[in-house]
A and B are shown apart, each in its own frame.
Chain A
Protein backbone atom coordinates (compact mmCIF):
# COMPACT_ATOMS: atom_id res chain seq x y z
CA UNK A 1 0.00 0.00 0.00
CA UNK A 2 1.26 3.48 -0.80
CA UNK A 3 1.96 5.93 1.98
CA UNK A 4 -1.23 7.69 2.89
CA UNK A 5 -1.50 11.46 3.03
CA UNK A 6 -2.12 12.93 6.45
CA UNK A 7 -5.46 14.69 6.80
CA UNK A 8 -4.72 18.12 8.22
CA UNK A 9 -7.15 19.56 10.71
CA UNK A 10 -8.82 22.91 9.99
CA UNK A 11 -9.01 24.59 13.36
CA UNK A 12 -12.09 26.77 13.62
CA UNK A 13 -13.61 29.14 16.15
CA UNK A 14 -16.29 28.00 18.57
CA UNK A 15 -19.13 30.54 18.70
CA UNK A 16 -22.77 29.97 19.61
CA UNK A 17 -22.31 26.19 19.60
CA UNK A 18 -21.05 26.23 16.01
CA UNK A 19 -17.62 26.16 14.42
CA UNK A 20 -17.39 29.17 12.14
CA UNK A 21 -14.32 30.45 10.35
CA UNK A 22 -13.39 34.02 11.15
CA UNK A 23 -15.84 36.44 9.54
CA UNK A 24 -12.74 38.17 8.11
CA UNK A 25 -11.59 34.98 6.41
CA UNK A 26 -8.13 35.50 7.90
CA UNK A 27 -5.90 32.87 9.47
CA UNK A 28 -2.46 32.95 11.03
CA UNK A 29 0.28 30.41 11.39
CA UNK A 30 0.63 28.62 14.68
CA UNK A 31 4.04 27.13 15.36
CA UNK A 32 5.44 24.99 18.14
CA UNK A 33 8.01 26.30 20.57
CA UNK A 34 10.80 25.60 18.05
CA UNK A 35 9.09 27.48 15.26
CA UNK A 36 7.81 24.43 13.36
CA UNK A 37 4.44 25.00 11.68
CA UNK A 38 1.59 23.19 13.42
CA UNK A 39 -1.60 24.52 11.90
CA UNK A 40 -3.42 27.64 10.76
CA UNK A 41 -5.74 29.18 13.32
CA UNK A 42 -8.48 31.73 12.60
CA UNK A 43 -7.43 35.36 13.06
CA UNK A 44 -10.60 36.77 14.60
CA UNK A 45 -11.87 40.26 13.87
CA UNK A 46 -13.89 42.59 16.06
CA UNK A 47 -16.99 41.41 14.27
CA UNK A 48 -16.27 37.88 15.45
CA UNK A 49 -16.02 39.35 18.95
CA UNK A 50 -19.39 41.02 18.55
CA UNK A 51 -21.00 37.84 17.22
CA UNK A 52 -19.58 35.95 20.19
CA UNK A 53 -21.08 38.47 22.62
CA UNK A 54 -24.46 38.15 20.94
CA UNK A 55 -24.24 34.36 21.26
CA UNK A 56 -23.15 34.60 24.89
CA UNK A 57 -25.97 37.00 25.73
CA UNK A 58 -28.49 34.72 24.07
CA UNK A 59 -27.24 31.75 26.07
CA UNK A 60 -27.14 33.61 29.38
CA UNK A 61 -30.83 33.32 30.25
CA UNK A 62 -30.93 29.57 29.95
CA UNK A 63 -27.56 28.90 31.55
CA UNK A 64 -27.97 31.24 34.50
CA UNK A 65 -31.51 29.96 34.98
CA UNK A 66 -30.45 26.32 35.06
CA UNK A 67 -30.26 24.85 38.52
CA UNK A 68 -26.83 24.85 40.09
CA UNK A 69 -27.03 21.09 40.38
CA UNK A 70 -27.71 20.78 36.66
CA UNK A 71 -24.79 23.05 35.83
CA UNK A 72 -22.57 20.85 37.96
CA UNK A 73 -23.67 17.77 36.05
CA UNK A 74 -23.04 19.43 32.72
CA UNK A 75 -19.55 20.51 33.79
CA UNK A 76 -18.79 17.03 35.05
CA UNK A 77 -19.82 15.71 31.65
CA UNK A 78 -17.20 18.00 30.10
CA UNK A 79 -14.57 16.40 32.32
CA UNK A 80 -15.68 12.98 31.10
CA UNK A 81 -15.23 14.09 27.50
CA UNK A 82 -11.82 15.60 28.27
CA UNK A 83 -10.72 12.32 29.80
CA UNK A 84 -11.60 10.53 26.57
CA UNK A 85 -9.55 12.91 24.42
CA UNK A 86 -6.62 13.17 26.77
CA UNK A 87 -4.05 11.95 24.24
CA UNK A 88 -4.92 14.70 21.82
CA UNK A 89 -4.61 17.39 24.49
CA UNK A 90 -1.30 15.95 25.73
CA UNK A 91 0.08 16.15 22.20
CA UNK A 92 -1.19 19.70 21.65
CA UNK A 93 0.05 20.95 25.00
CA UNK A 94 3.48 19.33 24.49
CA UNK A 95 3.78 21.03 21.08
CA UNK A 96 2.49 24.36 22.30
CA UNK A 97 4.58 24.69 25.41
CA UNK A 98 7.69 22.80 24.26
CA UNK A 99 7.55 20.29 27.07
CA UNK A 100 7.79 16.51 27.11
CA UNK A 101 4.74 14.32 26.68
CA UNK A 102 4.94 13.19 30.31
CA UNK A 103 5.07 16.77 31.60
CA UNK A 104 2.20 17.70 29.31
CA UNK A 105 0.23 14.75 30.65
CA UNK A 106 0.64 16.11 34.17
CA UNK A 107 -0.75 19.45 32.96
CA UNK A 108 -3.72 17.84 31.23
CA UNK A 109 -4.53 15.67 34.24
CA UNK A 110 -4.40 18.72 36.45
CA UNK A 111 -6.69 20.58 34.04
CA UNK A 112 -9.29 17.83 34.09
CA UNK A 113 -9.12 17.66 37.89
CA UNK A 114 -9.51 21.44 38.02
CA UNK A 115 -12.60 21.20 35.86
CA UNK A 116 -14.13 18.60 38.16
CA UNK A 117 -13.21 20.73 41.17
CA UNK A 118 -15.10 23.71 39.75
CA UNK A 119 -18.01 21.44 38.74
CA UNK A 120 -18.38 20.59 42.41
CA UNK A 121 -18.57 24.26 43.36
CA UNK A 122 -21.67 25.05 41.30
CA UNK A 123 -24.17 24.16 44.03
CA UNK A 124 -21.97 25.11 46.99
CA UNK A 125 -20.79 28.63 46.27
CA UNK A 126 -24.15 30.16 47.22
CA UNK A 127 -23.91 28.78 50.75
CA UNK A 128 -20.33 29.95 51.14
CA UNK A 129 -20.67 33.52 49.90
CA UNK A 130 -24.38 34.07 50.56
CA UNK A 131 -26.62 33.62 53.57
CA UNK A 132 -28.64 35.39 56.20
CA UNK A 133 -27.25 38.69 57.48
CA UNK A 134 -27.79 39.88 61.03
CA UNK A 135 -29.32 43.35 60.77
CA UNK A 136 -30.42 45.87 63.38
CA UNK A 137 -34.13 45.74 62.72
CA UNK A 138 -37.07 43.40 62.39
CA UNK A 139 -36.07 42.11 58.99
CA UNK A 140 -35.11 38.80 57.54
CA UNK A 141 -32.12 39.81 55.47
CA UNK A 142 -30.75 37.37 52.93
CA UNK A 143 -27.88 37.72 50.47
CA UNK A 144 -27.54 35.47 47.49
CA UNK A 145 -24.94 35.48 44.71
CA UNK A 146 -26.07 35.85 41.12
CA UNK A 147 -24.08 35.47 37.91
CA UNK A 148 -22.97 38.80 36.48
CA UNK A 149 -23.76 38.08 32.80
CA UNK A 150 -21.45 37.94 29.82
CA UNK A 151 -17.79 37.73 30.81
CA UNK A 152 -14.93 38.41 28.41
CA UNK A 153 -11.90 36.32 29.34
CA UNK A 154 -8.37 37.00 28.16
CA UNK A 155 -6.88 33.56 28.71
CA UNK A 156 -3.30 33.20 29.96
CA UNK A 157 -0.68 33.33 27.20
CA UNK A 158 1.73 30.74 28.57
CA UNK A 159 -0.36 28.01 30.17
CA UNK A 160 -2.24 26.96 27.05
CA UNK A 161 -4.53 24.38 28.65
CA UNK A 162 -4.35 24.23 32.45
CA UNK A 163 -4.43 28.02 32.61
CA UNK A 164 -7.22 28.15 30.05
CA UNK A 165 -9.40 25.70 31.95
CA UNK A 166 -8.68 27.54 35.17
CA UNK A 167 -10.12 30.77 33.80
CA UNK A 168 -13.11 29.37 31.89
CA UNK A 169 -14.50 26.90 34.43
CA UNK A 170 -15.11 29.40 37.28
CA UNK A 171 -16.97 31.78 34.97
CA UNK A 172 -19.47 29.22 33.72
CA UNK A 173 -19.70 27.30 37.00
CA UNK A 174 -21.44 30.26 38.59
CA UNK A 175 -23.85 30.72 35.67
CA UNK A 176 -22.24 33.47 33.62
CA UNK A 177 -21.42 32.95 29.95
CA UNK A 178 -17.96 33.48 28.50
CA UNK A 179 -16.26 34.93 25.45
CA UNK A 180 -12.72 33.62 25.64
CA UNK A 181 -9.69 34.95 23.79
CA UNK A 182 -7.27 32.03 23.62
CA UNK A 183 -3.52 32.33 24.00
CA UNK A 184 -2.23 34.16 20.92
CA UNK A 185 0.84 31.96 20.53
CA UNK A 186 -0.71 28.62 21.54
CA UNK A 187 -4.40 28.63 20.60
CA UNK A 188 -4.80 25.03 19.48
CA UNK A 189 -5.68 23.41 22.83
CA UNK A 190 -8.38 26.07 23.26
CA UNK A 191 -9.92 25.34 19.87
CA UNK A 192 -9.91 21.64 20.67
CA UNK A 193 -11.57 22.41 24.00
CA UNK A 194 -14.36 23.98 21.94
CA UNK A 195 -14.89 20.62 20.25
CA UNK A 196 -15.13 18.96 23.65
CA UNK A 197 -17.67 21.53 24.89
CA UNK A 198 -19.74 21.06 21.74
CA UNK A 199 -20.00 17.34 22.38
CA UNK A 200 -20.78 17.73 26.07
CA UNK A 201 -24.12 19.04 27.29
CA UNK A 202 -22.97 22.66 27.49
CA UNK A 203 -25.57 24.72 25.60
CA UNK A 204 -24.26 26.58 22.54
CA UNK A 205 -23.10 30.10 23.35
CA UNK A 206 -22.21 29.46 27.00
CA UNK A 207 -18.55 29.33 26.05
CA UNK A 208 -17.30 31.05 22.90
CA UNK A 209 -13.68 30.70 21.89
CA UNK A 210 -11.87 33.19 19.70
CA UNK A 211 -8.28 33.06 18.49
CA UNK A 212 -6.06 35.71 16.98
CA UNK A 213 -4.30 38.84 18.16
CA UNK A 214 -5.22 39.36 21.80
CA UNK A 215 -5.07 43.15 21.62
CA UNK A 216 -7.21 43.30 18.49
CA UNK A 217 -10.04 41.20 19.91
CA UNK A 218 -9.87 42.37 23.51
CA UNK A 219 -10.30 46.07 22.69
CA UNK A 220 -13.85 45.86 21.29
CA UNK A 221 -14.81 43.43 24.05
CA UNK A 222 -13.56 45.77 26.77
CA UNK A 223 -15.53 48.66 25.26
CA UNK A 224 -18.61 46.56 24.50
CA UNK A 225 -21.64 47.84 26.41
CA UNK A 226 -23.20 44.40 26.62
CA UNK A 227 -20.24 42.72 28.33
CA UNK A 228 -20.61 42.71 32.10
CA UNK A 229 -17.14 41.71 33.24
CA UNK A 230 -13.67 41.22 31.85
CA UNK A 231 -10.90 38.96 33.09
CA UNK A 232 -7.56 40.43 32.02
CA UNK A 233 -5.41 37.50 33.14
CA UNK A 234 -3.69 37.02 29.78
CA UNK A 235 -3.17 40.70 28.94
CA UNK A 236 0.29 42.18 29.39
CA UNK A 237 0.54 45.24 31.63
CA UNK A 238 0.13 48.05 29.12
CA UNK A 239 -2.73 46.37 27.27
CA UNK A 240 -4.42 45.53 30.56
CA UNK A 241 -4.35 49.19 31.54
CA UNK A 242 -5.92 50.30 28.26
CA UNK A 243 -8.56 47.61 28.51
CA UNK A 244 -9.41 48.58 32.05
CA UNK A 245 -9.92 52.18 30.97
CA UNK A 246 -12.20 51.07 28.12
CA UNK A 247 -14.07 48.77 30.50
CA UNK A 248 -14.81 51.60 32.91
CA UNK A 249 -17.34 53.12 30.56
CA UNK A 250 -20.15 50.74 31.47
CA UNK A 251 -18.71 49.87 34.86
CA UNK A 252 -17.65 46.36 33.95
CA UNK A 253 -16.27 44.16 36.65
CA UNK A 254 -12.54 43.96 35.97
CA UNK A 255 -10.37 41.10 37.13
CA UNK A 256 -6.82 42.44 37.05
CA UNK A 257 -3.92 40.31 35.88
CA UNK A 258 -1.72 38.90 38.60
CA UNK A 259 1.05 36.32 38.68
CA UNK A 260 -0.47 32.87 39.09
CA UNK A 261 0.96 29.44 39.69
CA UNK A 262 -1.60 27.45 37.73
CA UNK A 263 -0.71 24.17 39.42
CA UNK A 264 -1.47 25.55 42.88
CA UNK A 265 -4.85 25.34 44.65
CA UNK A 266 -6.86 28.08 42.91
CA UNK A 267 -9.11 29.11 45.79
CA UNK A 268 -12.54 30.59 45.23
CA UNK A 269 -11.66 34.16 44.22
CA UNK A 270 -12.19 33.49 40.51
CA UNK A 271 -15.65 32.12 41.28
CA UNK A 272 -16.65 35.15 43.30
CA UNK A 273 -15.17 37.60 40.78
CA UNK A 274 -18.08 36.95 38.41
CA UNK A 275 -20.85 37.16 40.97
CA UNK A 276 -23.14 39.97 41.99
CA UNK A 277 -24.73 39.89 45.42
CA UNK A 278 -28.44 40.37 45.68
CA UNK A 279 -29.79 41.16 49.13
CA UNK A 280 -33.43 40.83 50.07
CA UNK A 281 -34.96 42.58 53.08
CA UNK A 282 -38.12 40.98 54.33
CA UNK A 283 -40.00 42.60 57.22
CA UNK A 284 -40.77 40.14 59.96
CA UNK A 285 -41.85 42.16 62.99
CA UNK A 286 -40.45 40.78 66.17
CA UNK A 287 -40.95 37.10 66.65
CA UNK A 288 -41.59 35.53 70.01
CA UNK A 289 -40.88 36.75 73.51
CA UNK A 290 -37.16 36.96 72.88
CA UNK A 291 -37.73 39.75 70.36
CA UNK A 292 -35.64 37.95 67.80
CA UNK A 293 -36.13 39.22 64.27
CA UNK A 294 -35.91 35.77 62.71
Chain B
Protein backbone atom coordinates (compact mmCIF):
# COMPACT_ATOMS: atom_id res chain seq x y z
CA UNK B 1 0.00 0.00 0.00
CA UNK B 2 1.40 3.39 -0.95
CA UNK B 3 2.39 5.23 2.20
CA UNK B 4 0.50 8.30 0.98
CA UNK B 5 -2.67 6.55 1.99
CA UNK B 6 -1.62 5.34 5.43
CA UNK B 7 -3.59 8.10 7.15
CA UNK B 8 -6.59 7.55 4.86
CA UNK B 9 -6.90 3.96 5.96
CA UNK B 10 -6.13 4.64 9.60
CA UNK B 11 -9.74 4.25 10.64
CA UNK B 12 -13.22 3.69 9.35
CA UNK B 13 -14.03 7.39 9.54
CA UNK B 14 -10.90 8.60 7.74
CA UNK B 15 -11.51 6.16 4.94
CA UNK B 16 -15.12 7.27 4.66
CA UNK B 17 -14.12 10.92 4.70
CA UNK B 18 -11.62 10.29 1.92
CA UNK B 19 -14.03 8.31 -0.28
CA UNK B 20 -16.88 10.75 0.16
CA UNK B 21 -14.48 13.58 -0.49
CA UNK B 22 -13.68 12.30 -3.99
CA UNK B 23 -15.12 14.64 -6.64
CA UNK B 24 -18.61 13.55 -7.69
CA UNK B 25 -19.09 11.95 -11.09
CA UNK B 26 -21.00 13.86 -13.76
CA UNK B 27 -23.09 10.95 -15.02
CA UNK B 28 -24.39 12.70 -18.15
CA UNK B 29 -20.94 13.97 -19.07
CA UNK B 30 -19.35 10.57 -18.44
CA UNK B 31 -21.83 8.75 -20.64
CA UNK B 32 -21.59 11.38 -23.36
CA UNK B 33 -17.79 11.14 -23.33
CA UNK B 34 -17.89 7.34 -23.50
CA UNK B 35 -20.43 7.49 -26.33
CA UNK B 36 -18.46 10.07 -28.32
CA UNK B 37 -15.26 8.02 -28.08
CA UNK B 38 -17.29 5.06 -29.34
CA UNK B 39 -18.01 6.79 -32.63
CA UNK B 40 -14.43 6.63 -33.89
CA UNK B 41 -14.08 4.73 -37.13
CA UNK B 42 -11.15 2.32 -36.94
CA UNK B 43 -10.30 0.79 -40.32
CA UNK B 44 -7.69 -1.20 -42.26
CA UNK B 45 -4.26 -1.43 -40.60
CA UNK B 46 -5.46 0.23 -37.40
CA UNK B 47 -8.29 -2.28 -37.26
CA UNK B 48 -5.93 -5.20 -37.81
CA UNK B 49 -3.73 -3.88 -34.99
CA UNK B 50 -6.74 -3.44 -32.71
CA UNK B 51 -8.03 -6.95 -33.43
CA UNK B 52 -4.68 -8.59 -32.64
CA UNK B 53 -4.29 -6.45 -29.54
CA UNK B 54 -7.79 -7.33 -28.36
CA UNK B 55 -7.17 -11.05 -28.89
CA UNK B 56 -3.97 -10.81 -26.86
CA UNK B 57 -5.93 -9.11 -24.05
CA UNK B 58 -8.65 -11.69 -23.65
CA UNK B 59 -9.14 -13.64 -20.47
CA UNK B 60 -10.87 -16.55 -22.15
CA UNK B 61 -13.47 -17.47 -19.62
CA UNK B 62 -15.65 -20.40 -18.70
CA UNK B 63 -17.47 -20.06 -15.43
CA UNK B 64 -20.35 -22.47 -15.57
CA UNK B 65 -21.57 -25.06 -13.14
CA UNK B 66 -21.34 -27.52 -16.01
CA UNK B 67 -17.60 -27.01 -16.66
CA UNK B 68 -15.85 -30.31 -17.18
CA UNK B 69 -12.11 -31.04 -17.41
CA UNK B 70 -12.68 -31.67 -21.12
CA UNK B 71 -14.20 -28.25 -21.66
CA UNK B 72 -11.40 -26.56 -19.75
CA UNK B 73 -8.79 -28.43 -21.80
CA UNK B 74 -10.54 -27.34 -25.00
CA UNK B 75 -10.55 -23.76 -23.76
CA UNK B 76 -6.85 -23.98 -22.93
CA UNK B 77 -6.08 -25.29 -26.40
CA UNK B 78 -8.04 -22.45 -27.92
CA UNK B 79 -6.26 -19.85 -25.78
CA UNK B 80 -2.87 -21.14 -26.92
CA UNK B 81 -3.86 -21.42 -30.56
CA UNK B 82 -7.00 -19.39 -31.20
CA UNK B 83 -7.12 -19.88 -34.96
CA UNK B 84 -5.50 -23.13 -36.13
CA UNK B 85 -5.76 -21.95 -39.74
CA UNK B 86 -3.50 -18.98 -39.02
CA UNK B 87 -0.61 -19.57 -36.66
CA UNK B 88 0.20 -15.87 -36.63
CA UNK B 89 -2.89 -15.23 -34.53
CA UNK B 90 -1.78 -13.98 -31.11
CA UNK B 91 -2.49 -16.03 -28.00
CA UNK B 92 -5.00 -14.82 -25.48
CA UNK B 93 -3.71 -13.38 -22.23
CA UNK B 94 -5.20 -15.99 -19.94
CA UNK B 95 -7.87 -18.56 -19.36
CA UNK B 96 -10.20 -17.89 -16.48
CA UNK B 97 -11.74 -20.81 -14.58
CA UNK B 98 -13.12 -21.82 -11.19
CA UNK B 99 -10.49 -22.82 -8.58
CA UNK B 100 -11.12 -26.56 -8.89
CA UNK B 101 -10.25 -26.36 -12.60
CA UNK B 102 -6.97 -24.49 -12.18
CA UNK B 103 -4.79 -27.58 -12.28
CA UNK B 104 -6.51 -28.81 -15.43
CA UNK B 105 -6.20 -25.40 -17.07
CA UNK B 106 -2.55 -25.12 -16.08
CA UNK B 107 -1.84 -28.45 -17.72
CA UNK B 108 -3.78 -27.43 -20.84
CA UNK B 109 -1.87 -24.19 -21.44
CA UNK B 110 1.48 -25.75 -20.53
CA UNK B 111 4.50 -23.57 -21.14
CA UNK B 112 2.79 -21.43 -23.78
CA UNK B 113 2.90 -18.30 -21.64
CA UNK B 114 -0.88 -18.12 -21.42
CA UNK B 115 -1.74 -17.33 -17.80
CA UNK B 116 -4.29 -19.16 -15.71
CA UNK B 117 -6.65 -16.90 -13.83
CA UNK B 118 -9.10 -18.18 -11.28
CA UNK B 119 -12.12 -16.57 -9.72
CA UNK B 120 -12.12 -17.02 -5.98
CA UNK B 121 -13.63 -15.65 -2.76
CA UNK B 122 -17.00 -17.37 -3.17
CA UNK B 123 -17.49 -16.09 -6.73
CA UNK B 124 -19.87 -14.66 -7.95
CA UNK B 125 -21.85 -13.56 -4.87
CA UNK B 126 -18.98 -13.25 -2.43
CA UNK B 127 -21.30 -14.31 0.36
CA UNK B 128 -19.09 -16.38 2.64
CA UNK B 129 -17.01 -15.98 5.74
CA UNK B 130 -13.58 -14.42 5.18
CA UNK B 131 -11.82 -17.66 6.19
CA UNK B 132 -13.74 -19.50 3.47
CA UNK B 133 -12.82 -16.83 0.93
CA UNK B 134 -9.15 -16.96 1.86
CA UNK B 135 -9.22 -20.75 1.71
CA UNK B 136 -10.68 -20.47 -1.77
CA UNK B 137 -7.84 -18.17 -2.82
CA UNK B 138 -5.11 -20.34 -1.27
CA UNK B 139 -6.51 -23.38 -3.00
CA UNK B 140 -6.38 -21.66 -6.38
CA UNK B 141 -2.89 -20.30 -5.82
CA UNK B 142 -1.63 -23.67 -4.62
CA UNK B 143 -3.02 -25.27 -7.77
CA UNK B 144 -0.90 -22.87 -9.80
CA UNK B 145 -3.13 -19.91 -10.61
CA UNK B 146 -1.15 -16.94 -11.93
CA UNK B 147 -3.97 -14.51 -11.31
CA UNK B 148 -6.85 -14.34 -8.85
CA UNK B 149 -10.15 -12.62 -9.62
CA UNK B 150 -11.87 -11.81 -6.33
CA UNK B 151 -15.28 -10.27 -5.77
CA UNK B 152 -15.78 -7.56 -3.18
CA UNK B 153 -18.41 -7.85 -0.47
CA UNK B 154 -21.11 -5.69 -2.11
CA UNK B 155 -23.35 -6.06 0.93
CA UNK B 156 -20.72 -4.46 3.17
CA UNK B 157 -19.93 -1.79 0.57
CA UNK B 158 -23.55 -0.77 0.10
CA UNK B 159 -24.08 -0.73 3.87
CA UNK B 160 -21.27 1.81 4.04
CA UNK B 161 -18.84 -0.54 5.75
CA UNK B 162 -15.90 0.43 3.53
CA UNK B 163 -13.32 -0.77 6.04
CA UNK B 164 -14.52 -4.37 5.78
CA UNK B 165 -14.21 -4.25 1.99
CA UNK B 166 -10.75 -2.73 2.29
CA UNK B 167 -9.53 -5.25 4.86
CA UNK B 168 -10.83 -8.18 2.85
CA UNK B 169 -9.04 -7.05 -0.30
CA UNK B 170 -5.84 -6.64 1.70
CA UNK B 171 -6.19 -10.09 3.21
CA UNK B 172 -6.83 -11.65 -0.18
CA UNK B 173 -3.89 -9.81 -1.69
CA UNK B 174 -1.70 -11.29 1.01
CA UNK B 175 -3.07 -14.77 0.35
CA UNK B 176 -2.31 -14.34 -3.37
CA UNK B 177 1.43 -14.31 -2.81
CA UNK B 178 2.97 -13.67 -6.22
CA UNK B 179 -0.28 -14.10 -8.10
CA UNK B 180 -1.74 -10.88 -9.50
CA UNK B 181 -5.01 -9.84 -7.92
CA UNK B 182 -8.01 -8.57 -9.90
CA UNK B 183 -10.74 -7.03 -7.79
CA UNK B 184 -14.26 -7.32 -9.17
CA UNK B 185 -16.69 -4.62 -8.04
CA UNK B 186 -19.80 -5.92 -9.81
CA UNK B 187 -20.54 -2.41 -11.03
CA UNK B 188 -24.09 -3.38 -11.96
CA UNK B 189 -24.86 -3.86 -8.28
CA UNK B 190 -23.21 -0.68 -7.04
CA UNK B 191 -26.03 1.46 -8.46
CA UNK B 192 -24.21 4.76 -8.90
CA UNK B 193 -21.11 6.03 -10.67
CA UNK B 194 -19.99 7.62 -7.40
CA UNK B 195 -20.03 4.19 -5.80
CA UNK B 196 -18.01 2.71 -8.66
CA UNK B 197 -15.45 5.46 -8.22
CA UNK B 198 -15.26 4.87 -4.45
CA UNK B 199 -14.92 1.12 -4.93
CA UNK B 200 -12.13 1.72 -7.44
CA UNK B 201 -10.20 3.78 -4.94
CA UNK B 202 -10.71 1.25 -2.14
CA UNK B 203 -9.41 -1.47 -4.44
CA UNK B 204 -6.42 0.53 -5.63
CA UNK B 205 -5.40 1.63 -2.14
CA UNK B 206 -5.78 -1.92 -0.82
CA UNK B 207 -3.27 -3.19 -3.36
CA UNK B 208 -5.25 -4.57 -6.30
CA UNK B 209 -3.20 -5.23 -9.44
CA UNK B 210 -6.32 -4.92 -11.59
CA UNK B 211 -9.74 -3.46 -11.05
CA UNK B 212 -12.49 -5.28 -12.88
CA UNK B 213 -16.04 -4.24 -13.66
CA UNK B 214 -18.15 -7.33 -13.17
CA UNK B 215 -18.59 -11.03 -12.89
CA UNK B 216 -20.69 -11.39 -16.03
CA UNK B 217 -23.37 -13.03 -13.91
CA UNK B 218 -25.72 -10.07 -13.42
CA UNK B 219 -27.92 -8.01 -15.72
CA UNK B 220 -25.63 -4.98 -16.15
CA UNK B 221 -21.98 -5.80 -16.81
CA UNK B 222 -19.17 -3.83 -18.40
CA UNK B 223 -20.38 -0.67 -20.10
CA UNK B 224 -18.24 1.92 -21.85
CA UNK B 225 -19.17 4.48 -19.18
CA UNK B 226 -18.23 2.46 -16.12
CA UNK B 227 -15.02 1.30 -17.77
CA UNK B 228 -14.17 4.89 -18.67
CA UNK B 229 -14.71 5.85 -15.04
CA UNK B 230 -12.36 3.12 -13.85
CA UNK B 231 -9.76 4.09 -16.44
CA UNK B 232 -9.88 7.64 -15.11
CA UNK B 233 -9.38 6.26 -11.61
CA UNK B 234 -6.26 4.27 -12.53
CA UNK B 235 -4.91 7.25 -14.46
CA UNK B 236 -5.40 9.54 -11.47
CA UNK B 237 -3.97 6.92 -9.11
CA UNK B 238 -0.79 6.63 -11.13
CA UNK B 239 -0.49 10.41 -11.32
CA UNK B 240 -0.71 10.57 -7.53
CA UNK B 241 1.33 7.55 -6.51
CA UNK B 242 3.30 6.38 -9.50
CA UNK B 243 1.70 2.95 -9.19
CA UNK B 244 0.11 1.59 -12.36
CA UNK B 245 -2.98 -0.59 -12.02
CA UNK B 246 -4.75 -2.59 -14.72
CA UNK B 247 -8.39 -2.52 -15.77
CA UNK B 248 -10.54 -5.42 -16.88
CA UNK B 249 -14.05 -4.93 -18.24
CA UNK B 250 -15.95 -8.20 -18.23
CA UNK B 251 -19.31 -9.43 -19.37
CA UNK B 252 -21.39 -8.36 -22.34
CA UNK B 253 -18.50 -7.50 -24.69
CA UNK B 254 -19.31 -9.75 -27.64
CA UNK B 255 -18.35 -8.03 -30.86
CA UNK B 256 -15.16 -6.73 -32.37
CA UNK B 257 -16.78 -3.33 -32.67
CA UNK B 258 -17.39 -3.23 -28.90
CA UNK B 259 -13.86 -4.36 -28.14
CA UNK B 260 -12.34 -1.70 -30.39
CA UNK B 261 -14.46 0.95 -28.69
CA UNK B 262 -13.00 -0.11 -25.35
CA UNK B 263 -9.47 0.10 -26.75
CA UNK B 264 -10.20 3.65 -27.90
CA UNK B 265 -11.34 4.46 -24.36
CA UNK B 266 -8.11 3.04 -22.97
CA UNK B 267 -5.91 4.98 -25.35
CA UNK B 268 -7.74 8.26 -24.90
CA UNK B 269 -8.19 8.03 -21.13
CA UNK B 270 -5.43 6.09 -19.43
CA UNK B 271 -3.06 6.36 -22.38
CA UNK B 272 -1.00 4.02 -24.55
CA UNK B 273 0.85 2.67 -21.49
CA UNK B 274 -2.24 0.62 -20.80
CA UNK B 275 -2.48 -0.82 -24.32
CA UNK B 276 -0.87 -4.06 -23.26
CA UNK B 277 -2.27 -7.24 -21.81
CA UNK B 278 -0.32 -6.64 -18.64
CA UNK B 279 -2.53 -3.62 -17.96
CA UNK B 280 -5.78 -4.19 -19.78
CA UNK B 281 -7.90 -7.30 -20.23
CA UNK B 282 -11.23 -8.32 -21.60
CA UNK B 283 -13.19 -10.89 -19.62
CA UNK B 284 -15.09 -12.67 -22.36
CA UNK B 285 -16.04 -15.99 -23.87
CA UNK B 286 -17.82 -15.27 -27.16
CA UNK B 287 -15.79 -12.17 -28.07
CA UNK B 288 -12.84 -14.23 -29.29
CA UNK B 289 -14.84 -15.91 -32.03
CA UNK B 290 -16.04 -12.59 -33.40
CA UNK B 291 -12.50 -11.22 -33.35
CA UNK B 292 -11.27 -14.31 -35.20
CA UNK B 293 -13.98 -13.96 -37.84
CA UNK B 294 -13.09 -10.30 -38.36
CA UNK B 295 -9.44 -11.24 -38.55
CA UNK B 296 -10.19 -13.82 -41.23
CA UNK B 297 -12.20 -11.19 -43.11
CA UNK B 298 -9.25 -8.78 -43.09
CA UNK B 299 -6.88 -11.51 -44.22
CA UNK B 300 -9.00 -12.94 -47.04
CA UNK B 301 -11.42 -10.15 -47.97
CA UNK B 302 -14.31 -12.57 -47.55
CA UNK B 303 -16.79 -12.38 -44.73
CA UNK B 304 -16.30 -15.37 -42.46
CA UNK B 305 -18.92 -17.31 -40.56
CA UNK B 306 -19.42 -19.26 -37.35
CA UNK B 307 -18.60 -22.49 -39.21
CA UNK B 308 -14.95 -21.41 -39.30
CA UNK B 309 -14.39 -20.94 -35.57
CA UNK B 310 -14.80 -23.39 -32.75
CA UNK B 311 -18.05 -23.83 -30.87
CA UNK B 312 -17.26 -23.43 -27.20
Contact = CB atoms under 8 A, between A and B. Distances in A.
Interface in B77-93: none
A223 B302 contact: yes
Interface of A is mostly: helix
B303 A53 contact: yes
The 3 A-B residue pairs with the shortest CB-CB distance, nearest first, are A226-B305, A223-B302, A224-B303
A249 B302 contact: yes
A224 B308 CA distance: 12
Interface in A41-84: 50, 53, 57
Nearest to A50: B303
A132 to B, nearest CB: 31
A42 to B, nearest CB: 20
Contacts of B304: 225-226
B2 to A, nearest CB: 48
A138 interface: no
Contacts of A53: 303, 305
Contacts of B305: 53, 57, 224-227
Interface string B291-312: 0000010000111111110000
A53 B302 CA distance: 13
Contacts of B303: 50, 53, 220, 223-226
A292 to B, nearest CB: 41
**Consensus secondary structure, chain B interface:** loop
A249 B307 CA distance: 14
A57 B308 CA distance: 14
23 contacts: A50-B303, A53-B303, A57-B305, A220-B302, A223-B301, A223-B302, A223-B303, A224-B302, A224-B303, A225-B296, A225-B302, A225-B303, A225-B304, A225-B305, A225-B307, A225-B308, A226-B303, A226-B304, A226-B305, A226-B307, A227-B305, A246-B302, A249-B302
Interface of B: 296, 301-308
Interface residues of A, number: 11
Given A53-B303, A57-B306, A220-B303, 16 more contacts: A50-B303, A220-B302, A223-B301, A223-B302, A223-B303, A224-B302, A224-B303, A224-B305, A225-B296, A225-B302, A225-B305, A225-B307, A226-B305, A226-B306, A227-B305, A249-B302
B257 to A, nearest CB: 11
Contacts of B307: 225-226
Interface string A237-256: 00000000010010000000
Interface string A205-249: 000000000000000100111110000000000000000001001
Contacts of A224: 302-303, 305
A218 to B, nearest CB: 13
Q: Among A50, A53, A226, which residue has the most Cβ atoms of chain B within 10 A? A: A226
Contacts of A226: 303-307
A289 B301 CA distance: 62
A242 to B, nearest CB: 14
A240 to B, nearest CB: 18
Contacts of B302: 220, 223-225, 246, 249
A226 B302 CA distance: 10
A53 B166 CA distance: 50
B299 to A, nearest CB: 12
Contacts of B301: 223
A114 B307 CA distance: 34
A57 B305 CA distance: 9
Contacts of A220: 302-303
B39 to A, nearest CB: 14
